[in-house]
């Protein structure tokens, strides 16, 4: 199973729409699931259980057992927040690393897509995220896809024009080849 992570808790985000576009572009032979950090908005994250080694929070435990441990490859779609990636993504990675870190992260292959309404497509954020993922013993595909001025390419049906779709298709092809090695 390929896990797509929409790495923001912002409602109605371009990040989620790009994640959905990736899922739609994947072939039927590549089952995938989207894990949206928007679902963390109503979770009781700031509690003693989030970083507990004995009883992790329910949402973190569910994500690990049902989505992240069973998947052998991830695509993370990360928007640019203040020159990096969202704090909620870092919070999630930190919480996930408390319980079953080896099963959750080690050796899994990751592709990164950066999204921004600005010019750089979150290049710097993807570099920051790469360092954290390497620390967690994940294998990050060297080719990263920055998507700049994402707001200019949305179509009325909430998909994206070929300016975004074609690079996404290329990214998916490269990632599937990379992750099957």
Question: How do residues 68-99 score in pLDDT, each as one tens digit?
Answer: 999 999 999 999 999 999 999 998 999 888 88
Q: Say whether 172 sits in a helix, a strand or coil.
A: helix
Going from the C-alpha of 181 to that of each of 2, 88, 108, 176, the distances in angstroms are: 15, 31, 12, 9
Tokens of 135: 């620390």
Domain count, the chain: 1
Q: Say whether 34 sits in a helix, a strand or coil.
A: strand
**Cα angle 122-153-87, degrees, rounded to a multiple of 5:** 30
What does the pLDDT look like over 35-64, one tens digit per residue?
A: 999 987 766 666 655 666 666 667 777 888
CATH of the domain at 20: 3.40.50.360
Tokens of 160: 């994206």
Query: Dihedral angle at the C-alpha atoms of 140, 117, 22, 102, nearest 10 degrees?
Result: 30
If you search the block for the tokens 């920051």, which residue do you land on? 128
Q: Above pLDDT 70, what percent of the chain?
A: 91
Query: Dihedral angle at the C-alpha atoms of 25, 142, 149, 129, nearest 10 degrees?
Result: 110
Domain span at 56: 2-39+48-179
What does the pLDDT look like over 105-132, one tens digit per residue?
A: 999 999 999 999 999 999 999 999 999 9
**If you average pLDDT over residues 4-30, what whole number do you get?**
94
DSSP 83-141: TB--HHHHHHHHHHTTSSHHHHHTT-EEEEEEE-SSSSTTHHHHHHHHHHHHHTT-EE-
């Amino acid at each position: 199973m390929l896990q797509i992570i929409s790495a923001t808790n912002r409602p109605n985000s371009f990040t989620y729409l790009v994640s959905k576009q990736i899922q739609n572009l994947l072939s039927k032979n590549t089952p995938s699931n989207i894990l949206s950090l928007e679902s963390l908005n109503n979770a009781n994250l700031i509690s003693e259980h989030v970083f507990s080694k004995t009883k992790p929070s329910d949402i973190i435990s569910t994500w690990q057992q049902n989505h992240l441990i069973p998947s052998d490859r991830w695509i993370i779609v990360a928007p640019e927040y203040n020159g990096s990636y969202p704090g909620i993504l870092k919070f999630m990675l930190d919480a996930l690393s408390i319980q079953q870190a080896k099963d959750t992260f080690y050796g899994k292959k990751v592709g990164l897509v950066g999204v921004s309404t600005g010019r750089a497509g979150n290049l710097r954020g993807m570099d920051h995220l790469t360092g954290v993922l390497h620390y967690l013993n994940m294998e990050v595909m060297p080719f990263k896809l920055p998507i700049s001025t994402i707001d200019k390419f949305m179509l009325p049906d909430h998909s994206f024009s070929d300016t975004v779709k074609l690079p996404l298709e290329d990214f998916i092809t490269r990632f599937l080849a990379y992750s099957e090695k």
